[in-house]
Every structure is written in C-alpha cells, then in structure tokens.
Structure 1
Amino acid sequence: MLLATIVGLFVLWPSADALPDRMPYFGEGAGSLHATSEGVPDEATALVPARLDDGTAVQVAVPPEAMGEIGDGDRMRVFDIPEAAGFGSTYVFVDFAREIPLALLALAFVGVVVAVARWRGVAAIVGLVGAFAAIGAFTLPALLAGEPALPVALVSASVVMCIVLYLAHGFSTRTTTALLGTLIGLLLTAGIAWLATSSSRIMGTSAEESQILFTQTSADLSDVFLCGLVLAGMGVLNDVTITQASAVWELRAVAPGASRGELFARAMRIGRDHIASTVYTIAFAYVGAALPLLMVMWMTDAPVDVQLTTGEVVEEVVRTLVGSIGLVLAIPVTTGIAALVVPGASAAPEDAPLEAPARA
C-alpha cells in the first residue's frame, strides 16, 4: 500500500511546464489596503468616508450589494485602482477584512480540541495541517496539469489518511486496520463515483469557479468533480472505520473468550447505529451547503423532474448518494478486517464469551 502510494506520487507528480499560468489578482497599478469606515455610505454618491491604516483619510466607492452592510467602524479591504477615479474615488470596497475574527475562531477551535482531547487533539490538528499541505502540494497541481482524476484522488487520499490516522491515533494494528478499511471504502467510493458521474453525464460546470477553470486551464471538469467526490468521502469514512476498529478491540478486551464471529456480529450492531446517524449527517451537510439553491428551486415554478435533474441539483444528489454508499460499505469491510486481525480468543476458563447478538 505504501509502495503503491509512493509510486503513484512519482508517476503523477506534475511538472512545472504542465501547470497553467497563475492568474493576476491585482490589475496593473492596483493594490490591496485595509481601511476603517468612518460613517455609512452616502446613497447619492455611493461613497463612504474611511481611514487607511497609515492614517490617510479617503473616500471608498461601495458597490450596490454592500451599501446597506457597511457601518461606522467596520474594517474593510479596499483596492486602490487608478482607473476607478471616474466613480468618485480610486479606492474601491472589495470585502470586509476578516483576518481578526477568523484568527480568533481558529484559536478557539484549537483551544477546545486541545483542552478536551489533549495530546491526541494536538496530533489531530498537526495531521490536519499536514493533510491540507499534501492537497496543496500534490492534488491541486496534479488536477490543474490534467493528470487523471481517479489515480490522483486515490493517491491523495492514501497520503492524507496515512498522515491523519497515524498522527492522531498512533502506530498500531488497530490504526492500520482502520486505514485499510478507509482505503478499501475509498476504492469502492471511487468506482461508484465513476459509474454515477458517467451515467449521469455530470459535466462539473455548474459552479462559478468551474467556469474559470474551463476558460483558464485544460482540466477536465467532470474529472475534477469525480476527484472531489472521493476526497469528500475521506472524513466520514475515517470516522466510521476508526470507530469500528476500536469497537472490535474494545469488545475483545471485555470478552477475551469471544469468537471472531461473535466480535463481528456485535461490532456490526454498533456499525448499524453509526450508519443511520452518519447518513443523516452527510445529507444535512449537503442541504446546508446547497440551501440558496434549494430556496431558488422552491421559488421556481418548474416541474419537479426538471428541477431534480438540472446540473446543479444532480451534482449535490450524486455527492450525497455516492458518499453514503461508500460509507455503508466501508463499515462491514472494516469490521471484518478488524475481527480477523484482533488478537485471538483467550483460553482462560474465567473468560466468558459475549452474548449471542440479538437479531436486528
């Protein structure tokens, strides 16, 4: 497994020549600054008085969608665009400056995780940072360079899961069992995702960012969508596989005399409860992400079959269903592996086996 991942990284690592040119963020002569508003925008001129961080008093041009949002004392990110002088000022509102609240939220997240999970929480956060570094260093450049989506997704998932699982849970047979179950689940998810994407003829062009990729790169957008399906399944699969592996080990600890079949049956009872709750989690997560789309659908007087088969909706439906199928299949796979590799039953007479599992 590790060897296959290393070979995949070597084969799929994109060359610098294959990557598209970076898109400039600022226009020629433009720059980004921070300013603090000193009032509210004037409805007649669409300008708001503000002061730059160096103390310079300026007028900032505000777009219509932000007119009612800016208040006195708000921190703003503005662009200094000489060509915008015709709008009353060269300083143009781009967005609110969010660095401080986001930094405080991130610190709160780290503090809560470390306070509750202690050193294991620290390891999990380090693993998360490492995972995002791997995605930024390999996955995104590989997709932009036009490398095939499924191999990129599977190699990325293998690297990320190795980092996250071993850092958070330590090097052990239990962790390796969860890793193997996760990777098998991702393989199954990848196959189902490929079939679903092909049969549904998903083009991956519904989002605004996809249109930018379509015009600026040679990336196959349906491949990008397919890779996203696999990567989206990592977190939930990791959750259920580590739970199932831990369940088998804990059941062995309380009933050393139980047979492997008994361990599997009892752990699957735990897994069925986990399936029910996690499927809800996946569905509601996508509902929350797609809430504006659902509101537009509710407002639109169109037949249900038309609404449910548009590109935007189908993408969300396929994400939910593929992720849920991969999750459900990973639970018995991981439980079976764990029941096979967990230490054998003890022969001590005082060790009683588990009760026979009740029928679900």
Structure 2
Amino acid sequence: MKKNILRVGIMFFLILVITGCEKRANTSEEQDVFIGKILAITKDEINVIETSGGGYEQRVQEAEVKLLDGPYEGEVIRVINSMDQMYAYDLELFEGSEIYTFVEYDEDGKILEGFVYSYRRDKYIYVLVGIFLILMVVVGGYQGLRTLLTLGLTLAGIYYMLIGIAAGGNAILLSMVICTLIAVVTMFLVTGFNRKSISAILGTIGGVLVSGIIAIIASDYAVLTGLGTTEAQMLVFTQGEIDFNFTSILFASILLGTLGAVMDVCMSIASAINEITEANPFMSTKDLFKSGMNIGRDVMGTMANTLILAYAGTSIFLILVFFMNDIPYFDIINMDAIATEIVRALSGTIGLVLSIPLTAYIAAVLEKKNESNY
C-alpha cells in the first residue's frame, strides 16, 4: 500500500514538472522568448550620455548566445545588453551563464538580434525543489510523503483563495475557510483522526481567529489602509473592474502568516498531553492542563521569535533605508507600512499565545473524557 502511494506521488510530481515545462516552452515560443547560453562576451564598454541634467554612464555588452530551445535551437545569435546606472534592474552578462532572451526579426523572418529578458533562475529553483522532495521522502519515508501531500494541498488551497479574491470574493470569508481547511487536512493527514489532532485543530482555529479579530480591530483604530506596501499599491492600478477591499486582504495575509506557527504550537501541546496521558492515565484534567501550559510556555518563546523575525526579515531593506537616512522614530512608527507590519506581527503573536491555554484545555478534557469511557 505504501509503495503504491509512493509511486502515485512520484508520478504526480513528474506530471506536474513535465506539464510546467511544456507550458513554459509554449509561452516562450508565443512571446519569442527563448533560453540561451552565453558563449562569449564580444563587447563590453562604457559610454557617457549627456543630458540636460548632466552626463551619466551607460554600459553596453554584446554577447554570442546559443539558443537552447524553440524552433531556432542550436542557432548562435548576437545579444545586446544595456546597463544604465540610473536604473536598479540591470543584468550583467557572464560567459557560460544561461539567460532568457527575446529576439527581433528582419523582414524575411530571420532573427536579427536578441536582448536580455532575465537570468535563467527557474532551472536552479527546480533543482532545489527536487532536492527538497528527495530528502523529504528519503529521510521522512511514508510520513515525509504525507507531509508533501499536505504541503501540496496547502498550496492548492492558497491558490484557490487567491483566485477567489481576484474574482472579487470576500477575502475575510475565503481566508477563514481556507485556513480552517488547511488546519483540518494537515492535522488529520499527519497524525490521523484522533484526539490530539482534534485538539490541535480546535486550538489552531481559535488562535488564528483571535489573530484575525485583533488585526481587524487594530487596523480600524490605527486607520490601516492595507496599501502600505509597494505590491498593494501596484494592485490598485491592476485591479480592473474589481473593487478590492485592501483591509480585508490584509486580514487574509495575517491569517495565513500566523497559521503555520499556531499549528506547530498546538500540535506540540496536543501531542505532548496525549503522550503524558498514555504514560500516566491517572493524571487529572487539571494536572494535564498544567503540563500542557508548561510545555506551551517553552514553545511560546521560540515561536514568538519566529513570527517577529519572519516579519522583520521581510522588512530589512526598508529598515536599512530608515537607518541610512536618519528618519525620526516618530515618522517611522506612524508610517502605514511600518504600522501594518507591527500589527501583523503582534496580532499573530497574541493569537499564538492564546492558542496555548486553549489547546491545553481542550486536549486535557478530551484525553480524560476518553479515559472515562473505559
């Protein structure tokens, strides 16, 4: 049975990879974007361009690039790459590296020259994903395969939640439903249908909902718009006919960001109480609750740091901008972006902390109720 599941999992993964590669190839051909390998850098010079505001330097590279896919596979073309010190997204070419290049044609439909589209990064991402999958199966065995299955279902849930939001759905309702489904599916698949999984699910749902409620209240009082990030501001101009509620989307992001850490804490407590009950069936509900709280306090210290550090890590560039420009604390703390991250981190941490006594109590009651049935 386990071997059959393993084979199905591997086949499913291979189908996804092959389908993704074919989709990428078809997209590239339609857009005239192809994979190329740089054989040699034939030109690398710096030109000074004069403008009304003064001169600035422009670096121009030319390279011989061998196309690796598409109808022109094997053909060597000239690729031009311009790097301007006024822009932040310059791509420097190196011999031997692979790039995506888009091409221009002459009147006869032959390739005239190419230009740099981006570095080829997906190849190495796929390698990293492959290493991750192999290690999960080799080290985790059947449990690792089940973990991969839960991860895939989680990604699918997030994907369909985003589709729902993009279609104009209620982000709050969608995020609550998806988070609940993720918690239920993950716990049952990882540990099976039992008391500890039920305790962990109820504790997780309670903790995540608390985080969301606190975030909504804090966002209302702090007048957070949900537009504190560049990505959110870009969404304003790409939403088309959909009238997004950015505060609701912020709520959804807080729920998703909190869910993983809360699930970890709740499962740790529920599992520990279950093991304690198995080892000592004569412990009272009160003693089990106390044991769960002691375990939760130990886990709480590291998990609170996990949430805070995760949010701080995503904002490190912005924080450095503040330091380099000596922006006053008063201005920083009142910025929409900073206030949003603080509310996000603290509401998530509060939900995590409150999930500890909730899970400990539910687990203790369920374990003793089960004992009383014998």
Q: Which moved more, 1:146-155 or 1:238-247?
A: 146-155
**Per-residue deviation, 1:74:** 0.6
1:42 maps onto 2:44 in alignment: yes
The 2-side partners of 1:103 and 1:111 are apart by 12
Task: For 2:148 and 2:81, locate their aligned partners in 1 and report how far apart those are by CA, in whole Å.
Answer: 39
* Displacement after TM superposition at 1:68 (Å): 6.7
Q: Name the CA distance, whole Å, in 2 between partners of 1:37 and 1:115.
A: 36
Give the distance between the partners of 1:317 and 1:336, measured in 2 at CA. 29
Task: From the superposition, tell whether residues 98 and 200 of structure 1 become closer, same or farther in structure 2 (CA, over 3 Å).
Answer: same
Correspondence for 2:95: 72
CA distance in 1, matches of 2:104, 2:219: 43
Moved more, 36-45 or 270-279: 36-45
Gaps of 5+ in 1: 1-25, 84-88, 348-360
Alignment of 1:138-157 (within 5 A): 139-157=161-179
The structural deviation recorded for 1:124 is: 1.0
Match of 1:128 among 126, 146, 151: 151
* Residues 235-244 or 115-124, more deviating: 115-124
The alignment's TM-score, normalised by the length of structure 2, stands at 0.78
**C-alpha contact 2:202 2:359 (8 A) present in aligned 1:** yes
Instruction: Please give the root-mean-square deviation of Cα atoms over the aligned residues, in Å.
Output: 2.5
The equivalent residue for 2:267 is: 242
Task: Check conservation: 1:34, 1:75, Cα contact below 8 A.
Answer: yes
Contact 1:51 1:58 in 2 (8 A): yes
> How far did 1:188 drift?
0.9
Confirm or deny: 8 A CA contact 1:197 1:226 kept in the other structure: no
- Alpha carbons of structure 1 residues 171 and 346: separation in structure 2 relative to 1, 3 Å: closer
> CA 1:63–1:262 in structure 2 vs 1: closer, same or farther (change >3 Å)?
farther
Which residue of the partner structure matches residue 320 of structure 1?
345
Q: Deviations over 1:135-169 (max 9, x none)?
A: 212x1122122222221110111122222221222
Q: 1:267 aligns with which of 292, 296, 308?
A: 292
Report the AA paired with residue 119 of structure 1. Y
The answer as to whether partners of 2:285 and 2:368 remain within 8 angstroms in 1 is no
Paired residue secondary structure (1:201): coil
2:303 paired with 1:278: yes
Distance 1:147 1:192 in 2: 22
- Specify the SS of the correspondent of 2:339: helix
> For structure 1, which segment, 158-167 or 325-334, has the greater mean C-alpha deviation from structure 2 after superposition?
158-167
Q: Give the partner amino acid of 1:31.
A: D
Other-structure match for 1:105: 128
Change (3 A) 1:198 1:80: farther
**Counterpart residue number, 1:14:** none
Q: Deviations over 1:209-252 (max 9, x none)?
A: 32332112121222211111111111111100111100110111
Q: Which moved more, 1:36-45 or 1:240-249?
A: 36-45
Equivalents in 2 of 1:43, 1:163: separation in Å? 58
Counterparts of 2:246 and 2:211 in 1: how far apart (Å)?
19
In structure 1, the partner of 2:208 is 186
Could you tell which deviates more after superposition, 222-231 or 46-55? 46-55
Deviation, structure 1 residue 80: 2.9
Structure 2 residue 360 is matched with structure 1 residue 338: no
Q: 1:331, 1:51 → 2: CA distance? A: 58
Shift of residue 268, structure 1, vs aligned partner: 0.6
Structure 2 equivalent of residue 13 of structure 1: none
Q: Is the 8 A contact 1:257 1:345 kept in 2?
A: no
- 2:18 — aligned with what? none
Aligned to 2:138: 115
Distance 2:168 2:89 in 1: 38
- Flag the 1:196–1:171 CA change in 2: closer, same or farther, 3 A: same
**Which amino acid letter does the alignment assign opposite residue 118 of structure 1?**
G
Equivalent AA in structure 1 for residue 152 of structure 2: V
Shift of 1:284: 1.3
Aligned to 1:172: 194
Write the distance in 2 (CA, Å) between the matches of 1:223 and 1:253: 43
**Structure whose residues are more often strand by fraction:** 2
Q: Is the 8 A contact 1:182 1:330 kept in 2?
A: yes
Matched residues in 2 for 1:66 and 1:43: separation?
18
- Please point out which of 63, 67, 80 is paired with 1:52: 67
AA in 2 matched with 1:62: N
Hey, what's the Cα distance between the residues in 1 that align with 2:314 and 2:327?
22
Q: Which moved more, 1:271-280 or 1:310-319?
A: 310-319
Please give the residue correspondences for 1:183-222 in structure 2 after superposition, counting only pairs within 5 Å. 183-217=205-239, 218-222=243-247
Q: Confirm or deny: 8 A CA contact 1:30 1:80 kept in the other structure.
A: no
Indicate the residue corresponding to 2:55 in structure 1.
none
Cα distance in 2 for partners of 1:67, 1:149 equals 36
Task: Provide, for residues 282-306 of structure 1, a one-character-per-residue CA deviation record: whole Å limited to 9, x for no partner.
Answer: 1111222211111111111221110
Q: Distance in 2 between matches of 1:246 and 1:206?
A: 39
1:345–1:162: structure 2 CA closer, same or farther, 3 Å change rule?
Answer: closer
- Deviation per residue, 1:249-279 (Å, 9 max, x gap): 0111222111010011011111001111111
Q: Deviations over 1:43-69 (max 9, x none)?
A: 343333311111222222324256674
Kept in 1: contact 2:184–2:201 (CA 8 A): yes
Q: Secondary structure at the match of 1:43?
A: strand
Unpaired segments ≥5 residues, structure 2: 1-26, 47-59, 107-111
